Structure formats: structure tokens, C-alpha cells
Structure 1
Amino acid sequence: MKAIATIDLAEWRAGGVVASEVERTVDEGLCRAGFLLVRGHGVPEGLSDAVRSAIRGFFALPDTVKQRYAVTVGGRGWIGPGKEANGYAEATATPPDLKETFAVGADTRTGDPKVDDVWFRPNVWPDEVPQLRALISCYTDAMRVLSDELLALCAAALRLPANPFVRWAGRPTWTCNINHYPAMSVLGRPQPGQFRIGPHTDFGTVTVLDREPGAGGLQVYTEPEGWADAPYDPTALTVNIGDLLAYWSGARWSPGRHRVQPPQPQAPDDDLVSLVYFYELNHDAVVRPLEPPIGRRRDLPPVVSAEFLRTRLDAITVG
């Protein structure tokens, strides 16, 4: 897909002319598609494979066992099949998404129950897969570091004199969803209009995706190309921006609209696991959109991060 640019964070860290070129590429890529392929990300080699191997052990458990850890959308634990329809977020009528999810999130509690019970709930760790806690914790620590660097790069790409995300992301909300997309040989044929994940944009700042290649994978929408398969690079992570970061840019950047295709008849046994890290900001961060000449609009009022995100999470919950 030509609209998605590739950058190397090692080049940006080096500074100088090469770093300026990376910043230009980021700005252009986020204007076009809201997506980037990111090399040089610094995530320890083999970590995502270890997480994926361990979580497959959890997903292989009987539903009666997984039910002990069942939660609704936005919770911490197992979100079973039929609970979520991401297409609802953009008012696209679709059957529920063809996936199950194990979700963890930020647990840096504030002491305010009204805040903590929504944004900083305790994580749930299945006794049946004891290695999962240490592996996922290591992975999400690496994702937090990477996400902060990506936001710093976003600020630099717009030539801002300072990085506003330093003060906006001291105690950020985030969620890591590990999605399991079962094979068609297990599920049967999808319903008409049904996806592994329906068409939508993400809600927060940056989303970092570690994906497996396969049929029925990620597609990205752009005006010039329509829907097209997202490029896959085994050395890179796929990064897209969400509604909150696009809003902050004053509608300069496009939130990356995407979907995950249903399982395909030509690959009926294709069983995929994706690691998806959704990064946000402090729950009470007040985001003031950039105005022209950087932003594209002057009529966007400030928003509070948690309020902005809550309406979108409610929208994708089935029932």
C-alpha cells in the first residue's frame, strides 16, 4: 500500500539532516493515511513471540475456564466472542467481530474510586498460564517507552518548540488487547458483512500493532486507494494514530481507518494472534487542538481525554 510510509527510529535518534527527513516523512504519512511502519523500535527481539506463545495457551482453554476471567469491553480479562463490534463506532451496521480478546491496562491508581474503577482497574492474570503476567508486563513496559517516543516524534514532526505530551502523559491510560482470530475451520463461514474487526478508527493517541501475516488480515482505507491490504514487514511494527491525536493536530492528520478481514476460504485454517497496544493520555489531560497554520481548523474546542474516549468505548459494546 503506497500510502503507508516506513521510518526508522534509529535514524531519528541520530539527529541532523536524516532526523529531519524522518520527521517530514511522519507528517506526510499521517496526513495521507494515519499509518506508519516503524523500524528501529527497540522492543526486545523475541518478546512478542514469547507473549504470543503463552497467550495461545490461554485461548486454547475451554470457554468454561476462560469465563472465570470474563469482562465487558474496556475491562481487564477475557472479552469473549460476540461482545464487540468496532464498526458501530462509525455507525457501520455489522455483526459482532470474529475474535476473542485478553485485555490488560494501566494500573497506576489515583486514589479516586470514580476514576480508578473506570481507567485503572486491577489486571486479571489467569492461574492456568502463570508465565503470562511477567511476559505481558515486560511487553507493555516496552510499548510505553516506545509510545512516548512516538509522541515526541509527532511533536517534532510539526516543528513545535516543546513536546506537550510530557505533561499530558505522566500517568496515562492505556490498554493492551491481545486479539485471537480463530480459523474458518473452527468458526464456520462469516455472516454477510462480518469482519474479524469491523471498519473503524482507534480512539486514543498512538496504537502499536505487532501482527502475524496471513489471509484475512489488516486493511487500511485512504481516499486515493480505498481499502487495501496493509504492508507487512517482519522487522517493523505497524503504528497508527487515533481520534484523539488527529483531533489534537487540528484535523491535519488522519486517524487511521482500518479493518481486519474475515477468515478467508483459501486459508480455512489460518489462526492469527495480534498484540495491540492502545496509548492515550492522562485521564484528565485537557487537549487543545492546534490551530492554523499547523492545524486545519479553528473551530475545535478543548476536550478532556477520558470524556473523549468514553463515548467511543461505549459505542462499540454489543448490547
Structure 2
Amino acid sequence: MNAIATVDMNRWRAGGPDAAQVLREVDAGMQRAGFLLVRGHGVPEGLPGALRAAARRFFALPGEVKQRYGTAVGGRGWIGPGLEANGYSEGTETPPDLKETFAVGADTRTGDTLVDEVWFLDNVWPDEVVELHALSTAYTAAMRTLSDELLALFAAALELPHNPFQGVTTRPTWTCNINWYPPLTHLGAPEPGQFRIGPHTDFGTVTVLDREPGAGGLQVYTDAEGWADAPFDPSALTVNIGDLLAHWSGQRWPAGRHRVLPPQETAPDEDLVSLIYFYELDHDARVTPLAPPIGRLAGLEPVVSAEFLRTRLDAITLG
């Protein structure tokens, strides 16, 4: 799928004419799809695989054990089947997504109870898989570093005189979802219109995905090609921007629309585990859209990060 550009962070870090070319590739790729494949990301080798293996041990536990750590969408812990339908974010009524999630998030409390009880909840760690705590902490720290660098890359790609995200990610909100997509043999046949994750865009600034390839895997939508399988590169992470960054860009860059196919009859035993890091900004950050000629649309109103995100989270929560 040529719509998704592959960029190497090391080429940008090195500076010079090659770095300038990377920035042009970033801008062009984002305009096409809101997605990139990113090499040179700096995540320690072996860390994603170790986290994925620990997560599989958790998801293999009996349902009544996992329920001890149960939570609602947007919470911390196990989000069981039937609780989330991402298609609702586009106004489409769909069956629940075919997945389970273990979610962790920012716990750097502000001292304001009303803020902390929504955005900075305590994380929950299962006693049955003790290594999940240390591995998740190391992985999300690497994701935070990379996400801040990606925001700097995006500001440079638009030739801004400074990085406008400096100062608004001092205590950012973020979530890391470990999604388990069970096999067809576990679930039975999907309902009509049911996906592992229904069509949607993400809500924040950048999403960083470490994925496994599969028959029932990730698809990306572009105006030029419609729905197509996302390319997979074992040395790269998949990065897309969310609604908040698309708004900041003045809709120059679309939020990356995507879905995860239901389990396929051609691969009935396939299960997949994805590591998905959703990055945002400080909860009270004010986001002012870029005006033309950089932005595509004039007159877009500033938004506050937490208010912008809350309406979208509520839309995909069932029950």
C-alpha cells in the first residue's frame, strides 16, 4: 500500500539534506493517509515481544480471574468483551468489537480530584502475571519518549518556527491498550458488520502501534484506494494521528481512519496481540488550529484537550 510512507527517524536526527527529504515525506504521507511506518524508533529490541508474551499469559487466564481486574472503557485493567464498539465514533451502530483489552495509563496525579478521577487513575496489575507491571512500565516510557519526538518531527515537517507541543506535554494524558483478538475457534462466527475493531479514527495526537500481521489484521482507508491492508514491516512501528492532531493541523492531515478485520475462516486459529499507545497532551492544553496556508480550513475553533477527548470516549462505550 504505497499511500503509507516509511520514514527513518535516524535520517531526520542526522540533519542535513537527507533530513529535509524525510520531512517532505512525512508531510506528503500524512496528507495521503494520516499514517506512517516509522523505523529507527529507538524502542529496545525484545521489549515489545516480552510484553506481548506476558499479555498472552494474562488473556489466557479464566474469565473469573480476569474479572477481578475488570474496568470500563477508559479505565485501568481488563476491558472484557462486549463493552466497546469503535464504529459508534463515526455514528454507525455496530455490534461490539471482537477483542479483550488490558489498559494502563498516565498516573501522574495533578492534585485536583475531579481531574485525577478521570484522567490519572491508578493502574491495576494482576498478581497472576507479575512481570506485566515492569514490562508495561518500560514499554510506555519508551513510547512517551518516541511520541514526544514524533510531535517534534511533525512540527518540523510543517516548517514551523518552533515546536508548539513543548510546554503542553509536561503531564500528558495517555493510555496503552494491549488488545487480544481471539481466534474464530474461540468466538464463533462474527455477526454481520462486526469487526475486531470497527472503522474509526483515534482521538488524540499520535498513536503508536506494535502489531502482528494476520489475515484478520489492520486495514487503512484512503480516499484514493478505499480500504486496503496496512503494510507490515517487522523493523517499523505503525504511527497514525488522531482527531486532536488533525484539528491542530487545520485538517491539512486527516486523522488516520482504520479498522481491524474480524477473524477469518481461512485462519480460524489465528489470534493476534497488538500494543497500542495513545498519546495526547496535558489535560488542560489549549489546541489552536493552524490557519491557512498551512492549515486547509480557516475558522476552526481552539479546543481544550480533555474536553475534546471525553466526548469521543463516551461515544464508543456500550452500556
> What TM bracket, shorter-length normalisation?
over 0.9
Counterpart of 2:122 in structure 1 is 122
The DSSP-based 3-state class of the residue aligned with 1:95 is coil
Counterpart of 2:166 in structure 1 is 166
Letter in 2 for 1:295: G
Mapped to 2, the partners of 1:148 and 1:160 lie a distance apart of: 16
Deviation at 1:4, TM superposition (A): 0.3
Counterpart of 2:152 in structure 1 is 152
Structure 1 residues 58-77: aligned runs within 5 Å: 58-77=58-77
Mapped to 1, the partners of 2:119 and 2:18 lie a distance apart of: 39
The DSSP-based 3-state class of the residue aligned with 1:259 is strand
Structure 1 residues 251-290: aligned runs within 5 Å: 251-290=251-290
Counterpart of 2:139 in structure 1 is 139
Mapped to 2, the partners of 1:189 and 1:115 lie a distance apart of: 41
Mapped to 1, the partners of 2:294 and 2:78 lie a distance apart of: 41
Mapped to 1, the partners of 2:37 and 2:108 lie a distance apart of: 30
Q: How many residues align?
A: 319
Counterpart of 1:100 in structure 2 is 100
The DSSP-based 3-state class of the residue aligned with 1:294 is coil
The answer to whether 1:318 aligns with 2:311 is: no
Letter in 2 for 1:264: Q
Deviation at 1:96, TM superposition (A): 0.2
Deviation at 1:297, TM superposition (A): 1.4
The answer to whether 1:220 aligns with 2:220 is: yes
Letter in 2 for 1:127: D
Mapped to 1, the partners of 2:94 and 2:301 lie a distance apart of: 31
Mapped to 2, the partners of 1:42 and 1:161 lie a distance apart of: 26
Deviation at 1:296, TM superposition (A): 1.0
Identity of aligned residues (%): 75
Letter in 2 for 1:209: L
Deviation at 1:250, TM superposition (A): 0.4
Mapped to 1, the partners of 2:239 and 2:286 lie a distance apart of: 24
Letter in 2 for 1:182: P
The DSSP-based 3-state class of the residue aligned with 1:163 is coil
Letter in 1 for 2:279: Y
Mapped to 1, the partners of 2:92 and 2:218 lie a distance apart of: 18
Q: Which runs of 5+ in 2 are unaligned?
A: none
Deviation at 1:168, TM superposition (A): 1.2
The DSSP-based 3-state class of the residue aligned with 1:311 is helix
Mapped to 1, the partners of 2:113 and 2:22 lie a distance apart of: 42
Q: Which runs of 5+ in 1 are unaligned?
A: none
Deviation at 1:129, TM superposition (A): 0.5
Query: In angstroms, what is the RMSD of aligned CA positions?
Result: 0.4
TM-superposition CA deviations, 1:39-89 (whole Å, max 9, x none): 000000000000000111110000100001000000000000000000000
Letter in 1 for 2:55: I
TM-superposition CA deviations, 1:279-298 (whole Å, max 9, x none): 00000000000001100111
The answer to whether 1:27 aligns with 2:7 is: no
